[in-house]
Structure 1
Amino acid sequence: MNCILGVDIGTTNVKALAFQPETGQIIAHASAPLATLNPQPGFAEQDPDEVWTHLIGVLDEVCREVDQQQGRIEAVGFSAAMHSCMAVDDTGKPLTNAILWSDNRAEKQADSLRGEQATLGKDIYQQTGTPLHPMIPLCKLAWFRENNLRLLRRATGWISIKEYIWHKLTGNYQIDYSIATATGLFDSQRKEWYPPALEFAGIRIEQLSEPVPTTYAGKLNNPSLPGSISAGLANAGLYIGASDGCLANLGAGAIEAGITTITIGTSGAIRRTVQRPLREEKGRLFSYILNVNDPVDRNYYVVGGPTNNGANVLQWVSEKLMQAETEAVLAEAATVAAGSDHLLFLPYLQGERAPLWDAGVRGSYLNVDWQHGRAHFARAALEGVLFNLLRIERILSRYTGPTKVIHANGGFAQSAFWVQMMADIFGVPVRLNESNESGAIGAILLTMKAMGRVSSLVEATRQVGFGQTFEPDADRHRQYRLVYERFEKALP
């Protein structure tokens, strides 16, 4: 029984799935939580060695499970979170923690590219497809240029957590095109590092990894791994894969026209898969490579916008505002009619990426009056998260065409009430994925394409399973259209 492993290195968990292509079943699964460090206000980091230790534990568990079922691991594909950045020395030892996407220390440097250096900023966006924000390595490196120039220059390499893991497994510093296009340093047209961006960041090309296609295959080269992993992966190809956002789209089965993916976890994102790069006139949408330079299949890019404010808004309402369990908060919110009796919530509790790209913006309730109680505040908060995503979708649809169906996943999908609200607000069916592990599943599907087990990514998505579909209510959708107009006018 042959299987393919999908590994997803996130910011909150590292996961591995063993997938059996012939049956379409997941035969083994393991997960471990990852801690985020906040050494200063606005800083968000992870210990790369802790990530490595947990990854080894997860791989060990899955390899043992597969072996117990007399299975054979044929290949491993990798998914990883975008925008991390860390320094290493010439032995591969970390000189810093991994700085995460949620780290805002480089707000000044991002503002510079939108302000006094706006001409350079627009040029970098046009070449890279990466919106200008403190999250991206381009700005983080510029922060080091201004705050720790000695370290910036001394480091042998500036890499992502995925490159660190890949080097530990294979001995090579390589970065897939997908992760590279999320750095703000990579010319996505030429498939090479972009000199003006490197100059702004203050680094040399020698300090960056070799860019390779997302279907690139390497070999295991680490004699110190536990025996179960060494044996389990002895004959397995290692496929470098892509970023979690791009692979979440593939793993959600959203590869064809008219399908939009929305993921709401702690944060969220709305994405479409297209055949050519996208550049939005105001620089509000990302455009990342999923799969290019394929001699048979089409080129694919994942375009869209991320939000900082997803289920963390529900957590805030539950813990800080209502001091109740989330299930009770959702039940109370359901007692209020659509539109929350004119109460609006701008959900910017932690700054915002799309559509505002403003790390300093903050949230607020609007139109508060005597009739509004706890339930109104809860429902308005949930609606605000979805209105913000709708705003991104309306910008996105100008370039990619209208949304016909939404494929939804993430923690919010556990609430039928919230999912139905999404269908009512967007006015299209919302189809839930059977599994919330879309990043790892996407890594498996891309690996199957790289191995030649499927002829195209469209064929690969036929392996994706779905659960319930929520149809929009016409009356509530009409009401929400009016409410959304007020929300849009209230945006900063």
Structure 2
Amino acid sequence: MPTTLTIGADIGTTNVKAIAYEPHSDQILAHASRPLHTLQPQPGYSEQDPEAIWQAFGEVMRELMQAVQQAGATVGVVAFSAAMHSLMAVDAAGKPLTHALLWSDNRAEAEARTLRTHQAALGQAIYEQTGTPIHPMIPLCKLAFWRHHQPDLIRDAARFISIKEFLWVRLTGEYDVDFSMATATGLFDQEHRQWSPLALSVAGIADTQLSTPVPTMHIRPLLESSAAHTGLEPGTSLLIGASDGCLANLGAGAVAPGMTTLTIGTSGAIRQTVRQPLRDPQGRLFCYHLTEGYYVVGGPTNNGANVLQWLAEQFTQQTPEAVLAQAAQMGAGADGLLFLPYLQGERAPLWDAAVRGAFHHVDWLHTQAHFVRATLEGVLFNLWSINQLLGDYTGPTHVIHANGGFAQSAFWVQMLADIAGVPVRLNASNESGAVGAILLALTATGHYPSLDIAAGSVSFGKTYEPNPEHHRVYQETFERFRALQAGLASK
């Protein structure tokens, strides 16, 4: 009897990745990845070619399936994770009319600012319905931008969809969007599980121009026409899955109270899983749907490992590894030097696309190593400030589950433990989005009776314990950081 595998496919902004998992042995049998290229045709714009993503997805799946077939195994289900907030227009035949605008695209800054200031009551009402903070990243604001600047596109496009939906319709022939991805659009009424007429009026579109919302455990068969592109058998079950942020929590095994997931890739986020929808009166926290009775709340940052890249390429002209080694030469707190890491505006907790970074308390004795250390600390201080806000609603953090590219640096992870003052746990696999998609599929198909049991199956690697002396230094330094941050928030 051939072994039956579950595949988790993760459509990110940097890579398309997929892993093949054997649940009975708890083994990842194979993995494959392809990089994606982001286009920046002018300042504030951030786009990708959807056809290039489709090709990358096909290459990843065919490579993975070759390994699966060599192992004599079969595939039961393919489940999907995807980055949030992308938006593209397609015609009636599903042909792209635009590139896909990514989460990092800030062209809708004016539209977002209007909803946060001049029309603040309207913006807050939309947030209360959708759980999505108002920001240029969200499809609501991107649609409002097109409405103001490209009204013909709004009128003529048959559909407005995400990258995930673009792949899904090619694989299944249906325009579906899972509740999780829908809650990240700023257009979806979470309580009533439908598109919000209030948000649609701002976007200037009809609900018929959007996909049909479905649960995250929704399954459709693979079309025969897409079998050769993917290497999968026609009719293979495809589970629509959820967003990468929600699945990162599940894939990290963090669904219980007191467990916080911190992810730093190019950008970053800090999240907890709760059982009821949650709203911040000031609209600073997102609340996304994972599946019935499970919601992921938290805040994203624009400034994660991209700050390390800036340090390496623009500031020190060294490799990222050399930058981290240089930072390790300095003690905790960088001798008083502080960095506000807002190189690309900021989402949580400021939600201000125009804010910019700064060094504070620069001293004659500070060296390049001080600046490097302070910059890396600043990235974590900002994320921990989001967690402090989150903790006002969810309670204290007892353990952090860390993932993303930064988790490959023992130095940076230890710094996080020292700042937070709680243990930081790494997963055995750093592919938390794909692992989360697999756990969702295994719950949907009855292998696990609940997501709690599924999360309990996650394997862990090293745990980093906080250094008490460093934590004492960071407590004082963090309060200074928060005072500077509060000054920005009040402007």
TM-score between both structures, scaled by the size of structure 1? 0.97
Pairing of 1:14-413 with structure 2 (within 5 A) = 14-226=16-228, 229=231, 232-292=232-292, 299-413=293-407
Match of 1:296 in 2: none
> How far apart, CA to CA, are the structure 1 residues paired with 2:178 and 2:439?
16
Letter in 2 for 1:197: A
* Residue of structure 2 in register with 1:419 after alignment: 413
SS in 2 for 1:223: helix
- Per-residue deviation at 1:228? 6.8
**1:74-120, CA deviations, whole angstroms, 9 ceiling, x for partnerless residues?**
01100000000011111111111111000000000000101111110
Residue-pair matches, total = 484
Q: Are the structure 2 counterparts of residues 202 and 84 from structure 1 closer, same or farther at C-alpha, using a change threshold of 3 Å?
A: same
Alpha-carbon deviations, 1:464-491, whole Å to 9, x = none?
1111100011111111111111111111
Paired with 1:234 and 1:207, the residues of 2 have a C-alpha distance of: 29
Q: 1:300 to 1:228 in 2, by over 3 A?
A: closer
Matches within 5 A, 1:430-449: 430-449=424-443
Compared CA separation, residues 92 and 222, structure 1 to 2 (3 A): farther
Contact preservation (8 Å) 1:176, 1:212 = yes
1:13 alignment counterpart = 15
- Any stretches of 5+ residues in structure 1 without a counterpart? 293-298
**Alpha-carbon spacing, 1:369–1:227, altered in 2? closer, same or farther (3 Å):** closer
Percentage identity across aligned positions?
Answer: 60
* 2:247 aligned counterpart, secondary structure: helix
1:271 counterpart letter in structure 2: R
1:3 alignment partner, SS class: strand
**Secondary structure in 1 matching 2:295:** strand
Given residue 12 of structure 2, which amino acid in structure 1 is its aligned partner? G
| CA drift at 1:233 | 3.1
Q: Is the 1:168–1:222 Cα contact (8 Å) retained in structure 2?
A: no
- Which whole-Å CA distance do the structure 1 matches of 2:432 and 2:325 have between them? 28
Matched-pair contact (CA < 8 Å) for 1:347–1:381: yes
Rounded Cα–Cα distance in structure 1 between residues aligned with 2:252 and 2:15: 19
Please give the alpha-carbon distance, in whole angstroms, between the structure 2 residues aligned to 1:90 and 1:276.
38
Residues 418-447 of structure 1, C-alpha deviations (whole Å, 9 max, x = no match):
111100100000001111110001000000
SS at match of 1:5: strand
The answer to whether residue 441 in structure 2 is matched with residue 459 in structure 1 is: no
Cα distance between partner residues in 2 of 1:185 and 1:137? 8
Q: Distance in 2 between matches of 1:46 and 1:431?
A: 33
TM-score (norm 2): 0.97
Tell me the secondary structure at the aligned position of residue 135 of structure 1.
coil
- Aligned residue type for 1:127: Q
Q: Counterpart amino acid of 1:73?
A: V
Offset, 1:236: 2.5
Report the CA distance between 1:462 and its aligned residue: 2.7
CA displacement at 1:410 relative to structure 2: 1.0
The AA in structure 2 aligned to 1:456 is S
CA distance in 1, matches of 2:101, 2:331: 42
Give deviations 1:135-192, integer Å, cap 9, x for gaps: 0000000000000101111000001110110000000000000000000000011110
Provide the alpha-carbon RMSD of the alignment.
Answer: 1.0
Change (3 A) 1:222 1:36: farther
CA deviations over 1:202-235 (Å, ceiling 9, x no partner): 0011101000000001111142541772xx3335
Question: Matched residue of 2:366: which SS?
Answer: coil
In the alignment, the residues of structure 1 paired with residue 378 and residue 226 of structure 2 have an alpha-carbon distance, to the nearest angstrom, of 50
Counterpart CA distance in 1 for 2:265 and 2:473 is 27
Is the CA contact 1:5–1:77 (under 8 Å) kept in the aligned structure 2? yes
- The amino acid of 1:268's aligned partner reads G
- Contact 1:64/1:228 (<8 A) preserved: no
Aligned-pair CA distance for 1:413: 1.1
Any idea what SS the aligned residue of 2:34 has? strand
> Residues 285-305 of structure 1: CA distance to partner in whole angstroms, max 9, x if unpaired?
00000001xxxxxx1000000
Equivalent in the alignment of 1:295: none
Question: Aligned pair 1:470/2:464, yes or no?
Answer: yes
